[in-house]
Amino acid sequence: MKLILFYAHSFYFKTARKSLPEVPDQDMEKEVKDSVVVFFHVEGKDEENMKSVIQKFVKNTKWLCGKFKTKNVVLHSFNHLSSSKASPEVAKSILDETIERLQRTGYTVTITPFGYFHEFKIHVAGDSLAKVFKEF
């Protein structure tokens, strides 16, 4: 798993086109303020230890939210961080469990539609911790 986490004053996205033909049609446009935006990439090796991966995904997201005193999270699948890719089914399963755990503990979670390419704008804060890379 690879994560790039940002603390963003604002994050805007809009669906552009499908990358997975089997996902439902969606036309979505949204802006989220004062949030931790997580670009994540689920790798092939993550299929073997999904429980640990989910735990670390949630922990790292909550940690950065705590640093900026926000409960707003945006999750964006970004399959450009590694040449190793998990199957879409495994990636979706990890995403769904991560969302559930964050929401269950009071976080507001926005998900860019899975299986789509998006256009986006991100206004990242200038603090050094506003840009974090994690790999596990």
The pLDDT confidence band at residue 81, using thresholds 50, 70 and 90, is confident
Tell me the average pLDDT across 89-102: 96
Instruction: Return the C-alpha torsion angle 100, 105, 106, 112, nearest 10.
Output: -30
Q: Where are the domains of the chain?
A: 2-135
Residue 17 pLDDT: 94
The pLDDT confidence band at residue 82, using thresholds 50, 70 and 90, is confident
- 70 phi, psi to nearest 5 deg: -130, 155
- Confirm if 30 and 122 have CB atoms less than 8 A apart: no
Residue 5 pLDDT: 98
CATH architecture of 2-135: 3-Layer(bba) Sandwich (3.50)
